[in-house]
């Protein structure tokens, strides 16, 4: 036999007991050839192209799942930022395009479609403005469409006009979907340094530099890493912890590499990237917080959490980088509060605060993610929170993001329920000191000196 | 003459079996994958264009079957019976029963299987249910990718 019994048992245990899975196979599709002067023509072209290119995605993913015995949790599509595709339309409301995307997603049986997006780090075009204005209605009227806006890059700095606009838009989206605790805001993310090949939602879009189609794979497996860390002897030092995580990250990533190559071959679309990520789910044990706690913290959020997360994130990258030929996307441990049972517990216990989460985003992907805040938080305060997070990304040349949900009618200490992978979240308190004068100044925060690399 | 042959260029040749381009033409990855799917042969000058191999050179004719459950008489017989009927050859088999927990791992050749892999999996798990054991079948590449560099 080519493999030992223990190796085979290990793989089976990882899948059956420790929730090892492929988090997502995301097919990127370019819509750059779908432009037209009428919105209905654009919507029709987009629907037609998605149905044509995406037809095989779900059947192929289901077949791979069966043959290789590795669950593929999500099948998704990312498209060219719609602001670019729809720019030449005479109409200014892009909601019909979101509806066409939603219809295609449902007809194809995919979970989410990303790319209702605009890149505005240095300013707005007409298409960008129209898209931003269309976000609230579009997210309220659709189920599976995800929107993202890139507000800053290390090369361009931070577009503070867009930051304030997004503060208002996030509030509006949450209010329009108030009946479901503001779930619309869970499908909207703002970025600094957004990657063009990210397979994860809500931020996935198919960047303008990408080919016609590409298969991008997001891996997962916090449960597997948690088991490895928990099984280490109590006296193991942090170098040994890192080593153990690295080994496991290699194995997890190899599975993604295999599925990615095979999916690419069967779909006839080039293999894009593997996103070296640890993405939690609300399932018990499938939690990033639990890994940090297994390293010796009483609760996630306790002093030491940032260092533990930095170690984890770095070890995952080092182990994963060798296992795949192309690394891309967000690549790092995710810390979405509502999607991680350990984070939820830590937040409910008061161990984990917004400020600690902000510090944690300096050393991992991606940012303030899936955090519910009181519904009466002002747009200016939300904008200031976004600005802080953008600054971390811009100055450190990394991707950061904000996906917060100002839950309508909820106060700190309440709880919101989104269901499914989005999970539930305790409403976290936000500083009540006022930042509105700063947020309203607008303009562009210039890029840092370290961006002058040429 | 096309300097760069992209997917769109190649689509114009749809239906043709052999397509020739002048020497020094570059064919994009997408175009090469399209050609493989359509069964086209591409030539650049005299040189045939191949698509890169995806699988690390592993053939995909082997599968690993694992059986875990309570030990009892007839587990191996039951599972082998399903395999024999499907014309699946057993290449290797290892089993242990420690404190009543039975684990068996088989490596099998599915190249000449009479039924699809999906159907084989179904039949195995049905038989597993009759024997009160859990049976899984996975293609061998998973283990190769995970445990071998």
List, as own/partner pairs, every contact residues B71-76 make where C-beta atoms lie below 8 angstroms and the sequence separation is at least 24, other chains included: B71/B97, B71/B100, B71/B101, B71/B102, B72/B102, B72/B131, B72/B132, B74/B131, B75/B102, B75/B104, B75/B131, B75/B133, B76/B104
For A216-448, which CATH class?
alpha beta
CA–CA distance, A334 with A282 (Å, rounded to integer)? 13
Q: Assess contact for A253 and A319: CB atoms under 8 A.
A: yes
**Is the pLDDT confidence value at A372 over 80?**
yes
Under the banding of pLDDT at 50, 70 and 90, the label for residue A273 is very high
Question: DSSP per residue over B73-138, as a string?
Answer: TTHHHHHHHHHHHTT-EEEEEEEEEETTEEEEEEEEE-TT-SS-HHHHHHHHHHHHHHTTEEEEEE
- Indicate whether this complex's ipTM tops 0.90: no
Cβ atoms within 10 Å, residue B23:
9
Q: Which two tokens stand for residue A121?
A: 């780090």
Domain ranges for chain A, please list them.
216-448
- Given a contact cutoff of 8 angstroms between Cβ atoms, the answer to whether A196 and A30 are in contact is no
Residue B55 binned pLDDT confidence (cut-offs 50, 70, 90):
very low
Q: Is B142's CB within 8 Å of A70's CB?
A: yes
pLDDT of res. B49: 81
Query: For B114-130, what is each residue's pLDDT tens digit?
Result: 999 889 999 999 999 99
Ordered DSSP codes for A147-193: EEEEEEETTTEEEHHHHHHHHHHHHHHHHHTGGGTTGGGGGEEEEES
Q: Which domains does chain B have, with CATH numbers?
A: 4-49 (no CATH), 62-147 (3.30.70.260)
Closest CA to A12 of B130, B92, B105, B43: B105
Confidence of residue A95 (pLDDT cuts 50, 70, 90): very high
CB A188 within 8 A of CB A148: yes
**C-beta of residue A94 within 8 angstroms of C-beta of residue A39:** yes
Nearest to B10 by CA among B25, B30, B31: B31
pLDDT above 70 (res B56): no
Q: Taking CB atoms and an 8 Å limit, are B142 and A255 in contact across chains?
A: yes
As beta bridge partners, residue A333 has: A278
The structure tokens listed for A62 are 């289901």
The torsion angle over the Cα atoms of residues A77, A326, A292 and B143, rounded to 10 degrees, is: 90
Q: Which pLDDT band holds residue A418 (cuts at 50, 70, 90)?
A: confident
Which of A329, A332, A327, A337 shows the shortest CA–CA distance to A358?
A337
Rounded to 10°, the helix A95-108/A126-141 angle is 50
Residues 6+ apart with CB under 8 A from A382: A166, A167, A170, A171, A373, A404, A406
pLDDT digits (tens, 9 = 90+) for A283-325: 888 899 999 999 999 999 999 999 999 999 999 999 999 999 8
Which residues of B fall within a CB distance of 8 Å from A255?
142, 145-146
Q: Which of residues 99-128 of B touch A (CB under 8 A)?
A: 103, 105, 107, 117-118, 121
What is the three-class DSSP state of B15? Answer: coil
- The secondary structure of residue A257, as a DSSP letter, is H
Does the pLDDT of residue A19 top 90, yes or no?
no
Give the span between the Cα atoms of B72 and B97, in whole angstroms.
10
Residue of B nearest to A261 (CA): B54
The CA distance from A409 to A391, in Å, is 30
List of chain B residues whose C-beta atoms are within 8 Å of the C-beta of residue A60: none
Output the pLDDT for position A185: 95
CA dist B117 and B62 (Å) reads: 11
CA dist A87 and A33 (Å) reads 12
Contacting residues of B for A264, CB less than 8 Å apart? 33, 54
CA angle, A15 as apex, A14 and A17 as ends, to 5°?
Answer: 70
Residue in A1, A69, A265 nearest the CB of B138: A69
Contact B107 A2 (CB under 8 A): yes
pLDDT tens figures, B29-53: 888 888 887 888 888 888 888 765 5
Residue A203 pLDDT: 94
Range with the poorest average pLDDT among A60-69, A120-129, A261-270, A417-426? A417-426
Separation between Cα atoms, residue A272 and residue B109, nearest integer Å: 32
**Least CB-CB distance to B30: which of A69, A70, A211?**
A211
* B8 to A16, A77, A88, A432, B5: CA distances (angstroms): 44, 21, 23, 56, 8
Give the torsion sign (CA, A133, A138, A141, A147).
negative
Query: Measured between CA atoms, how close is B97 to chain A, in angstroms?
Result: 13
Res B53: pLDDT: 52
How many Å apart are CA A42 and CA A100, to the nearest integer?
Answer: 9
- pLDDT given for residue B52 in this prediction: 58
Dihedral (CA of B27, B33, B38, B42) sign: positive
Q: How far apart are CA A123 and CA A381, in angstroms?
A: 22
DSSP conformation class of A450: G
pLDDT band at B60 (very low <50, low <70, confident <90, very high): low
Q: Which of B55, B121, B143 sits opposite A11 (nearest CB)?
A: B143
Does A200 have pLDDT greater than 60? yes
Closest among A27, A25, A26, A20 to A71, alpha carbons compared: A20
């Amino acid at each position: 036999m080519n493999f030992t019994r223990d190796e085979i048992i290990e793989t089976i245990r990882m899948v059956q007991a420790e929730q090892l899975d492929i988090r997502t196979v995301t097919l990127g599709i370019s819509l750059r050839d779908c432009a037209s002067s009428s919105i209905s023509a654009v919507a029709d072209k987009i629907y037609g192209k998605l149905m044509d290119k995406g037809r095989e995605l779900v059947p192929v993913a289901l077949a791979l799942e069966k043959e290789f015995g590795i669950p593929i949790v999500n099948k998704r599509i990312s498209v060219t930022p719609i602001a670019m595709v729809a720019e030449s339309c005479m109409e200014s409301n892009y909601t019909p395009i979101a509806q066409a995307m939603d219809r295609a997603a449902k007809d194809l049986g995919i979970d989410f479609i990303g790319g209702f997006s605009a890149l505005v780090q240095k300013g707005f075009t007409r298409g960008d403005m129209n898209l931003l204005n269309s976000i609230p209605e579009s997210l309220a009227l659709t189920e599976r469409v995800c929107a993202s806006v890139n507000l800053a890059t290390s090369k361009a700095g931070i577009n503070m006009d867009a930051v304030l606009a997004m503060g208002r838009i996030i509030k509006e989206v949450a209010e329009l979907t108030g009946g479901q605790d503001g779930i619309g805001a869970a499908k909207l993310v703002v970025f600094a340094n957004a990657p063009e090949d990210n397979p994860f939602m809500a931020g996935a879009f198919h960047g303008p530099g990408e080919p016609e189609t590409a298969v991008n794979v997001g891996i997962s497996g916090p449960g597997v890493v948690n088991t490895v860390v928990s099984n280490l002897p109590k006296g193991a030092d942090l170098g040994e912890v890192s080593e153990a995580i690295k080994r496991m990250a290699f194995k997890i990533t190899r599975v993604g590499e295999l599925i990615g190559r095979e999916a690419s071959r069967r779909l006839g679309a080039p293999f894009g990237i593997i996103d070296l990520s640890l993405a939690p789910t609300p399932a018990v044990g499938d939690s990033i917080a639990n890994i940090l706690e297994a390293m010796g913290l009483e609760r996630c959020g306790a002093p030491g959490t940032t260092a533990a997360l930095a170690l984890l994130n770095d070890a995952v990258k080092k182990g994963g980088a060798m296992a795949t030929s192309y690394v891309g996307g967000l690549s790092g441990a995710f810390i979405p509060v509502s999607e991680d049972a350990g984070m939820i517990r830590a937040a409910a216990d008061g161990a984990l605060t917004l400020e600690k989460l902000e510090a944690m985003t300096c050393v991992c992907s991606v940012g303030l993610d899936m955090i519910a805040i009181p519904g009466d938080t002002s747009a200016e305060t939300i904008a200031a929170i976004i600005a802080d997070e953008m600054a971390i990304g811009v100055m450190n040349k990394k991707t950061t993001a904000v996906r917060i949900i100002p839950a309508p009618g909820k106060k700190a200490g309440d709880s919101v329920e989104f269901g499914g992978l989005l999970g539930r979240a305790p409403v976290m308190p936000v500083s009540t000191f006022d930042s509105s004068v700063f947020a309203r100044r607008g303009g562009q925060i210039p890029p840092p000196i370290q961006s002058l690399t040429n | 003459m096309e300097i760069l042959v992209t997917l769109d260029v190649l689509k114009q040749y749809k239906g043709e079996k052999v397509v020739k381009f002048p020497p020094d033409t570059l064919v994009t990855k997408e175009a090469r994958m399209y050609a493989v799917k359509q069964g086209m042969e591409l030539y650049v000058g005299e040189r045939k264009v191949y698509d890169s191999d995806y699988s690390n050179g592993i053939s995909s004719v082997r599968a690993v079957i694992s059986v875990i459950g309570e030990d009892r008489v007839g587990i191996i017989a039951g599972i082998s019976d399903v395999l024999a009927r499907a014309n699946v050859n057993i290449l290797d088999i290892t089993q242990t029963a420690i404190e009543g927990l039975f684990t068996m791992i088989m490596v099998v050749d599915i190249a000449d299987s009479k039924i699809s892999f999906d159907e084989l999996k179904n039949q195995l798990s049905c038989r597993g249910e009759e024997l009160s054991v859990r049976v899984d079948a996975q293609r061998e590449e998973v283990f190769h990718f995970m445990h071998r560099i």
